[in-house]
Amino acid sequence: MSSPKFVSHEEWLDARKALLAREKAFTKERDELSAARRELPMVLVEKDYVFDTENGRKSLSELFGPHPQLVVYHFMFGETWEEGCPSCSFWADNYERLDAHLAARDTALLAISNAPLEKLLAYRKRLGWTFNWVSTNGNGFNVDYGVTFPGKEDPTGQGYNYSGKVFSEELPGVSTFLKLDDGRIGHSYSTYGRGLDILNMAYNLLDLTPMGRHEEGLSYPMAWVRRRDMYGVEE
């Protein structure tokens, strides 16, 4: 980074107040955007997805547990992979143990991947996570929700992040669902790419610092990320 500019406390305070006005405007705009997100129309989930879970085979409806809302993190872990994606593992470290807080607001949280359940649970144990993690077991769920593209082909026609383009066979995302009193399930929202930044407290904290994420000059922005147990080992 370039040498910092040093000023008096009074000058710093003036600059900080000017930035605070922008931050408050951004917060208000974000609140309005969140309200608009909640007002999105929904798509009825009509396919009967069944998943492999620690407690046997379960339908999408059963994954909600006692809650009317479900948040799914589409974790990149392909059917033949031996390990989960390092970047998705980075995100998982940030939403680990949030499920109790979300449950207090009528919401279930879990990760869904294409790898067999035994691989998911072994990897979860390795990294010390506790969140619910289920396997699609080839049911097409991650294909339908825009994160899995077998052979880099796109059967949905929407591409990744609604771009019409496919960049990899496995990509990350978050999808949210609502279960109505009559049992019907609505798909309310999905987000991908930079839309996932809001989930990552590590990035949000780095964004508060003078150096920020300092990813400039890397081969790609997240080239520095390692699985939590591989820093200092995998360089």
Average pLDDT of the residues of the chain: 96
Instruction: Kindly report, residue by residue over 8-18, the tens digit of the pLDDT.
Output: 999 999 999 99
Q: Are 120 and 133 in contact (CB under 8 A)?
A: yes
Distance separating alpha carbons of residues 197 and 178, to the nearest angstrom: 23
In percent, the amount of the chain with pLDDT more than 70 equals 99
Taking only the tens place, the pLDDT of each residue in 126-146 is: 999 999 999 999 999 999 999
Q: Are 193 and 85 a contacting pair, CB within 8 Å?
A: no
Whole-angstrom distance, CA of residue 54 vs CA of residue 170 = 23
**Cross-strand partners of 189:** 176
Q: Over 70: is that where the pLDDT of 208 sits?
A: yes
How far out from the chain centre does Cα 19 lie?
29
pLDDT at residue 180, rounded to an integer: 98
pLDDT, greater one: 234 or 202: 202
- pLDDT above 90 (res 2): no
pLDDT at 51: 98
3-state secondary structure of 62: helix
Q: What is the pLDDT of residue 1?
A: 62
Query: Distance (Å, rounded) from C-alpha 145 to C-alpha 167?
Result: 15
- Over residues 76-95, the mean pLDDT reads 97
Taking the C-alpha atoms of residue 214 and residue 221, their distance in angstroms, rounded to an integer, is 9
Residues 147-172 have pLDDT tens digits of 999 999 998 889 999 999 999 999 99
Q: Residue 72 above 90 pLDDT?
A: yes
pTM: 0.94
> What pLDDT is recorded for position 4?
87
Mean pLDDT (whole number) for 41-46: 98
Looking at residues 45-63, what average pLDDT do you find? 98
d(CA 139, CA 136): 5
- Residue 156 is predicted with a pLDDT of 87
Question: Residue 72's beta-bridge partner residues?
Answer: 110, 175
Q: Are 145 and 74 in contact (CB under 8 A)?
A: yes
pLDDT, one tens digit per residue, over 176-190 is 999 999 999 999 999
